A and B are shown apart, each in its own frame.
Chain A
Amino acid sequence: MIRCDELTKYFNGTRALDGCSFEISEPTLTGVIGVNGAGKTTLFKSIAGFLKPTKGEVYILDEQAFQNIIAAQNVMLTEDGMSFYPTASLHELIGSYSRFYPNFDQSLAIKLTEYFRLEEKKKYNELSKGMKSTFRLILALSARAPITLLDEPTTGMDPGVRKELFELILKDYIKVPRIILISSHYLGEMEELLDSILFIHEGKVLKHDDVEEFQTFLTGVQGAPKLIESLEDKLQIYDCKDFGAGIRRIIVESKDLESLSLKEDVMNSLTFKGVSPEDAFVYLTKRKGGGIDELYHS
């Protein structure tokens, strides 16, 4: 359904996407994660057919996405910078979206608008930041498009509403399974919703896998400094921290650790800890050299 082939996009010589390749063909709730500027929004806009690739291709239902009406009717993108007709009320906006998207569920849109206490007579620009995000998400889900792209859907929302909207996304997905991609800074909060994660870094796909893989592929190993240091030469280290009091911790790949086949007495003197996908993301994108700690030591 979505296929990116070496997708590359430059803006005035600045690289936003750099040979990004992946394929999604089954219904999924996939989290798209990456630091600011990694290329998430450019990727979404390319899939929606708003941007012409500098190099490479994006295919939606085997059609090239760029300025293609078939692609446009099958892809719903919602993002912060979306603009709506300034004089139209929310009610009128729901009406015009329902005419464009063939599967649009108008009664759902109206029910949700009421539930989240958005006044139908109001204009989009009269809403607060969080309410704008809520309304955009209502439109996006009600469109029931085979490919739904939610770019930072919960910007400006308070935690209570955010939680409710994540629940709404899940419920709607169970009702109508389809391809839903969500980018969000709140990976920890939405992790349970997802089945897969697409990890974008410097315009490329760094890792595209099941959530479980992200939950298990890094391990924290903690123990006496001497013992830990003896492991460090044999492993790729993602992070390393001295806690003092004879405790040092390193973050390594679980499969590397397994391949060492440590003896049982060594294993018993070490403590192992799982690394959450959110933390794994931080370790994987950490700049080379020291972290925040270093800044305070000089």
Chain B
Amino acid sequence: MKALKGSEPIYIQIGNWLENEILSGRVNPREKIYSQYKLSEIFGINPATALKGLNLLVDKGIVYKKRGLGMFVSHDALNILKKEHKNEVLTEQIRGLVAEAKLLDVSEEELIYMLKKEMRKAMQHQTKKGDDQQ
């Protein structure tokens, strides 16, 4: 049983967890997603709460119901998710970053430079990982 923590309502945490499962490729488009009862068992939560979490994804078009078969990840789930996360999650984090930079008297140029540096590191890391796999 996995443990959930945080002050957000559980169904929202379930929704976020499911989105990450899809974004990280553990569940792929057109595949069946965890059922309400499976989620209920994984997290030790009420099945109705699990269903509310799944329905958050249904409302966004990330997941769709097949009558009698359960819920599936829609073919453009990744596009929807990436767009949404770019708009909300990333913007939110950048807002925090900018506020912190302001507090520390970090200039715009300096912040952009730091960002670029981190981006480059991430790229190198990725290529290295790619090499390892070959």
| Residues of A in contact with B (beta carbons under 8 Å apart) | 28-29, 166-167, 170-171, 173-174, 177, 192-195, 211-212, 215-216, 273-274, 276
Q: How many angstroms from the CA of A194 to the CA of B41 in the assembled complex?
A: 13
Number of interface residues of B (CB under 8 A): 18
Q: Given A174-B37, A192-B10, A274-B7, are A167 and B44 neighbors across the interface (CB < 8 Å)?
A: yes
Chain A proximity of B48: nearest CB distance (Å) = 4
The reply to whether B52 and A212 contact each other, CB–CB distance below 8 Å, is yes
Nearest residue in A to B40 (C-beta to C-beta)?
A174
- For the residues of B in contact with A, the DSSP-based class is helix
The reply to whether A174 and B41 contact each other, CB–CB distance below 8 Å, is yes
Which of A28, A174, A216, A276 has the most CB atoms of chain B within a 10 A radius of its CB? Answer: A174
CB < 8 Å neighbour of A194 from B8, B9, B40, B46 = B46
Q: How many angstroms from the CA of A48 to the CA of B125 in the assembled complex?
A: 64
Chain B proximity of A264: nearest CB distance (Å) = 12
The reply to whether A192 and B9 contact each other, CB–CB distance below 8 Å, is no
Q: Given A211-B49, A212-B52, are A193 and B7 neighbors across the interface (CB < 8 Å)?
A: no
CB < 8 Å neighbour of A29 from B1, B46, B52 = B46
Q: What 0/1 pattern do residues 1 to 43 of B give for CB contact below 8 A with A?
A: 1001001111100000000000000000000000001001101
State the 6 A-B residue pairs at the shortest beta-carbon distance, nearest first.
A274-B7, A195-B48, A195-B46, A215-B9, A192-B45, A212-B9
Nearest residue in A to B4 (C-beta to C-beta)?
A192
CB < 8 Å neighbour of B45 from A193, A274, A276 = A193
| Residues of B in contact with A (beta carbons under 8 Å apart) | 1, 4, 7-11, 37, 40-41, 43-49, 52
Q: How many angstroms from the CA of A194 to the CA of B52 in the assembled complex?
A: 13
Chain A residues whose CB sits within 8 angstroms of the CB of B44 once the complex forms? 166-167, 170, 192-193
Chain B residues whose CB sits within 8 angstroms of the CB of A29 once the complex forms? 46
- For the residues of A in contact with B, the DSSP-based class is helix
Chain A proximity of B27: nearest CB distance (Å) = 21
Q: How many angstroms from the CA of A286 to the CA of B102 in the assembled complex?
A: 42
Chain A proximity of B1: nearest CB distance (Å) = 7
Chain B proximity of A31: nearest CB distance (Å) = 10
Chain B residues whose CB sits within 8 angstroms of the CB of A215 once the complex forms? 9-10
Which of A28, A177, A211, A276 has the most CB atoms of chain B within a 10 A radius of its CB? Answer: A211
The reply to whether B46 and A192 contact each other, CB–CB distance below 8 Å, is yes
Which of B11, B40, B46 has the most CB atoms of chain A within a 10 A radius of its CB? Answer: B46
Nearest residue in A to B51 (C-beta to C-beta)?
A195
Nearest residue in B to A220 (C-beta to C-beta)?
B7
Q: A193-B46, A211-B10 are in contact. List 5 more A-B contacts (CB 8 A).
A: A28-B48, A166-B44, A167-B44, A195-B49, A212-B52
CB < 8 Å neighbour of A192 from B8, B41, B49 = B49
Which of B11, B43, B49 has the most CB atoms of chain A within a 10 A radius of its CB? Answer: B49
Q: How many angstroms from the CA of A290 to the CA of B43 in the assembled complex?
A: 39
Chain A residues whose CB sits within 8 angstroms of the CB of B8 once the complex forms? 274
Chain B residues whose CB sits within 8 angstroms of the CB of A274 once the complex forms? 7-8
The reply to whether A170 and B7 contact each other, CB–CB distance below 8 Å, is no
Q: How many angstroms from the CA of A193 to the CA of B41 in the assembled complex?
A: 10
Nearest residue in B to A211 (C-beta to C-beta)?
B49
Nearest residue in B to A274 (C-beta to C-beta)?
B7
Q: How many angstroms from the CA of A107 to the CA of B52 in the assembled complex?
A: 34
Q: How many angstroms from the CA of A75 to the CA of B42 in the assembled complex?
A: 30
Q: How many angstroms from the CA of A191 to the CA of B49 in the assembled complex?
A: 11
